[in-house]
Structure 1
Amino acid sequence: MPTQPVVRIGARGSKLSLAQSGMMQRRIAASLGVDPSDQSAVERVAPLVVITTTGDRVQDRRLLEIGGKGLFTKEIEEALIEGRIDCAVHSLKDMPAALPDGLCIAAIPEREDPRDAFLSRGPESLEALAQGAKLGTASLRRQAQCLHRRPDLQVNMLRGNVDTRLAKLEAGEADAILLAYAGLKRLGLGHLPKSLIDPKACPPAPGQGALAIETRICDTEQSWVQALRHEATMVSVAAERGALTALEASCKTPIGAHAWFEGGSLKLIVEALSPDGVLAFRHSGETDASQLSDPEASARDLGFSLGMAIKEEAGDAIEF
């Protein structure tokens, strides 16, 4: 009898990461012929390997101060390269534009809601916050977008997992916080937001709401990888990450990008701001992805061209 293949899944140890990885674990197991409701069988063919990253360990500083968003992926990618795991499940918004040699984003499942969620101890929206209210966030993009709309706000650095941030809000360390709505929904907390931020008015982080399945390049055609791919999502996030590549965006660069399908067209809005929210540069465009032989490449080109247009317009006004 042939031996059942084992797919070892690398994940961070946070509650959200384990919830997201568990979703993918069950789908991988199903693609390998295992009943996804049989948890012991699922664990046998697709075990989770928990890996603590530098981004998890250092919680008292912004990511830009300690090396950027790649600190949420570095140790996991080392495990992939060394063959200790077979794939990794990441929040796509945490993935840098460039990946280590030999690795790739092999699959992106269907995307959750990409919007930012507004949570507070009273007011229903950012506009309803009192003059000089405290907004808690560790995201430069959220900081810049909120200050662009409400320059009177006091922005406090607020890092930590979802539970930690919710506890800090409840304790009064902030009057309001912004979190990815997708993460709240995956944790069963989708009822908590007071309101949701319009993604066309304030584009979220490129890839927000989507999960990335990272593998070694040699494993991209494995059947369990193919089973996780959602083509429409892969096209839309290709556009957003094309902009990311053009702007060479890191945690030092507040950038938002939102792609969506409307009719037969893929539409994209890209925005870059100064950290204080005073300057904002925005470009939008569309492409008929349905008529092309390589829709992902076309989407990526669209994102790249819009990102370059912003870079040219902004000049030295924003650090890229």
Structure 2
Amino acid sequence: MSSSNRTGSSPLTVILTGIPSLPMSSYWMALPLCCLYLLMLPGNCTLLWMIKTDHSLHTSMYYFLSMLAMADLGLSLSTLPNMLAIFWFESTSLHFEACIVQMYFIHSFSAIKSGVLVAMVFDRFVAICYSLRYASVLTSSLIMKAGVGGVIFMRGICVVLPIAILIKKIPFCRSRVLSHSFCLHQDMLRLVCGDVRVNSLYRLTAVILTKGLDSLTILLSYMMIIRAILNIVSQEARAKAFSTYISHLCAVLIFYIPLIGLSIIHRFGKHLPPLTHTLLADACFLVLPVLNPLVYSWKTKQILRRILILLCRRGTQQRV
């Protein structure tokens, strides 16, 4: 199928794949996906609402946490609707342009989330290593300019845009069946019959400039944070300093480990069963946005206290 087919009477479509060895119309799979929605939407929206309404949470760490929640919402809303359509209604076909738009949002929000994690580790680095200068370095205005104002979000938006433009200009002549329930760039490149060297090279460059540099920055920052913590004489103070960034460490691990695993499998794991590719991709883009609100709510005392206050108020109102 060449690129000329896109301009014909029949628009180019791609075929999305559910989970291998599972019937396309499966209520047993649709039900867990609905549960993920019911956990993800209230979890992240509640986190955003609490940070906005509670003035004690108007600090740099919680501004970054609100950005992380927005990135998780964007990732989930980019992928879950397609999966629900597949398992509820057996709707597997997707217009090529819609597939490109979905691919763009998935990779953009993924890059944004990576940038937010870097900003959060920088916040913890300053708080632990330069605690006396923390308030002057990370002011609210600086956070707004660095985060919401543009740098983190604009990087994610702009670095992925050429990927979408490049893939729209190349011909597709192989099977139109994708190996996932949503559109990923590396998966779409398998359908191309033309030269993909430019696309692959730019994708590699984009990954290095985003997740590559981000993961290196996070690793170096953690090394400096751990060294600073180990230099603390008091064991109680050392435990307190460690607890201030353990939730961020969990968020980093549950984001980067599946993502790196998915990239390795796409590159070197062609011999593995299709189910392995599918489950790892679903873990990256479906399960992780649900975990972050749970991790931060459980490990962050301010958020946990706020949740308990809300629950107590609701219980009192019901008794009245």
Q: When the two structures are superposed, what TM-score results if normalisation uses the length of structure 1?
A: 0.27
Q: Rg bigger for which structure?
A: 2
Give 1 or 2: higher strand fraction: 1
Q: When the two structures are superposed, what TM-score results if normalisation uses the length of structure 2?
A: 0.27
